[in-house]
Amino acid sequence: MRGLQGSPDLTLAPGHWVRRGLIAWPADGVPTGVDPAGLDWRLHWSPDGGIDPAAREPVSWETDEVEFDPAGLPEDVLAERPHLRGYLCLRLAEPTASDAERILRGQVVLSLHQASGRLVNAGALQLPGVLDDIYAAATEARLGLSWQDRTPTLRLWAPTAQDVRLRIWRPDDDLHDPGQALPANREPDGCWSIAGARDWKAARYRWEVTVYAPSGRRLVTNQVTDPYSISLTVNSTHSVIVDLDDPALAPEQWRTTPQPRLRHAVDQVIYELHVRDFSISDKSVPADERGSFLAFTRDSLGTRHLKRLAEAGLNTVQLLPTFDNASVEEAKERQRRPAQAELRAAPADSPRQQRLIALTVANSPYNWGYDPWHYQAVEGSYCSSLASAEGSGRVHEFRAMIGALHGLGLRVVLDQVFNHTAGHGQNTKSVLDRIVPGYYHRLSPLGHTEQSTCCPNVATEHAMAQKLMVDSVLLWARDYKVDGFRFDLMGHHSRDNMLAVRAALDALTPERDGVDGRAVTLYGEGWNFGEVANDARFVQARQGNLAGTGIGTFNDRLRDAVRGGGPFDHDPRGQGFGTGLFTASNDAPINGDGYRQRDQLLLDTDLIQLGLTGNLRDYWLPSNSRRLFVRGDELEYNGQPAGYASEPDEVITYVDAHDNETLFDALTLKLPIGTPMADRVRLNTLCLALATLGQGPVMWHAGADILRSKSLDRNSYNSGDWFNFLDWTMTDNGFGAGLPPEDDNGPKWDFFRPFLADATLKPTPADIAEAHAQALDLLRLRASIRLFRLAAGHEVRTKLTFPVSNTAHQVPGAIAMRIDDTVGAPSQDEWSSLVTVFNATPLAVRLPVPGLDGRHVLHPVQARGHDMVVKGARVEGEWARVPARSYAVFVKPR
Enumerate the active-site residues: 488, 525
Return d(Cα 808, Cα 787) in angstroms, integer. 28
Return d(Cα 599, Cα 624) in angstroms, integer. 9
Q: What is the DSSP letter of 57?
A: S
CB atoms within 10 A of CB 113: 17
CB-based contact 597:591 (threshold 8 Å): yes
Return d(Cα 762, Cα 349) in angstroms, integer. 13
**Rg, C-alpha atoms of the chain:** 29
702 Ramachandran zone, left/alpha/beta (phi>0; psi -120 to 50)? beta
Return d(Cα 362, Cα 716) in angstroms, integer. 15
Return d(Cα 870, Cα 888) in angstroms, integer. 7
| Torsion over CA: 554, 558, 563, 564 (sign) | positive
CA 810 to chain centre: 38
Return d(Cα 464, Cα 144) in angstroms, integer. 13
Residue 851's nearest CA partner among 804, 791, 796 is 804
CB atoms within 10 A of CB 329: 20
* Contacts of the segment 865-873: beta carbons below 8 A, 24+ positions apart: 865/777, 865/780, 866/770, 866/773, 866/774, 866/776, 866/777, 867/685, 867/773, 867/774, 867/777, 869/682, 873/837
DSSP per residue, 181-239: EEEPEE-TTSEEEEE--GGGTT-EEEEEEEEEETTTTEEEEEEE--TT-S-B-GGGSSE
Helix (H, G, I), strand (E, B), or coil: what is residue 730? coil
CA 342 to each of CA 336, 346, 347, 359, 719: distance values in angstroms, whole numbers, following the listed order: 14, 7, 10, 13, 16
- Total residues found in the chain within this entry: 894
Return d(Cα 117, Cα 183) in angstroms, integer. 44
Return d(Cα 326, Cα 827) in angstroms, integer. 48
Residue 375's nearest CA partner among 459, 291, 476 is 476
Instruction: Tell me whether the omega of the peptide bond preceding residue 95 falls within 30 degrees of 0, making it cis.
Output: yes
DSSP per residue, 613-650: TTSBTT-EEE-TTTSSEEEGGGSEETTEES--BSSGGG
Return d(Cα 689, Cα 681) in angstroms, integer. 12
Q: What is the DSSP letter of 285?
A: S
Return d(Cα 85, Cα 57) in angstroms, integer. 33
